[in-house]
Chains A and B, each alone.
Chain A
């Protein structure tokens, strides 16, 4: 017989309850990058807007950076770790794939055996995690969900590639998603375009590396012009769709936090979207570089810490990257 199944009891809505970030202690200026490539500080700044980035030391592992950012996010949310029902970690640079790093994090934070898993959605990973977390809370599988974007992209950087050596940084950004009386996370406009999988990719597979050909460790490479065109012109449309889906007009927006890939992409996107002057735009890439899944929560934390944004502000978030994948949504800042 088909028995009647009792559904979980979820909360009406979800919102971001707290945010926290961790930036490695060592800041790496362009001068250090220039030891390995034939370029100039002026060239790097004009092409990317990046002045420095943080690179993790041996002790600043994926786990340690995640724990530091998560502790801050949990404290900011005003909850305790045992209230967290699920831990979602987005990363492409944790090289021990089994078991998922999320399980160690759930244990070391002191959660009550929270569900824990990793996801892989590159620079859209934070938005993907946010969307999953919102579903878990509203459906009733977890009251609070920890979502972390964490990367050590310096481990996947070819120091001698003059088109990418200066781009990437390391760090962790975490948020706690929890119940809300009002909608605090809008509909996700997300998707993938696998026909463009070669636009950003790891140079070689682990199998190729294991077999010794080539000898160099895999790194990230990208087709700069293709990615730029897609990011500026296609992603501006996706960002607009996220505003429309949430029923929020550009003039009602306080903050725009795009994935921190490159200042030129951010500037062109702002122009294409025709955002009003009063909208505060995250430009954390200047001193953080591109930290993939960590970039949006890191930029969010900084805007709130400096007072450029405040709790309750309405923010448009959009992540986009290797896959190609993207995720945009409108949120209320914690």
Chain B
């Protein structure tokens, strides 16, 4: 019996958020995740396309049934490049986002909560990293690395240079939580410092953390595309960034070859949109007050309201209408 109760409990947690914006955002993300996971296999092994096969007889062709998104100046299939490149772009974005967020949460929350010498040290480290301008540093490191180590190096470089802003933000938020009673109460139930950080502070900071995670993923994808576009990534790996680099190199814009540069650009923009949409829903998770009561509860509240109205008093009915949520909660 217990197991079934628990099963129901965890199922309820996994339920899709009702907010339509969030659903659209999640759908876009899932679409791209599936594209990155399965797309390259489907395109290369099932459809028999190659992202790198040069065929100068079919250069700069408009989208057609044979080449869904046309071809590049050297006759490569843009559709195949787009699908195969999604894997690298998403991977770089995801890994760099995880590195950035993890570092910023650890440094920011630990510093803000522990205070004292640990905080001084971590704040000093954050400030030092903060005053180093990010993009130039990225460019210098990337041009030194010159694409060695593949996408992982790029992700590491982005992740290790992008965390200080997030750390400052999380430290400030932690400072405001640190002396709330529920944190003291957790300390006084005997929770260790690490326990307070992971069980009380981080869940309370979840909206900020997930917003900044999504931001970091998108930002890292932008940075990766930017580096590749400047030719500082590994331009021989197919990614959305390197597609843009080659498109620019081939003067796609001046030659009107929109099918070459619009798809990778649009994909990057779409992921940014999805991140923005999901952020709307995260507030609801961390602030249960914003959640709508379940259908069952709403139905009960409506029944109670109707009952009150049937009782004859119009005033009662309007009072019920103005506070359905409170009614449901009590």
Physical interaction between A and B? no
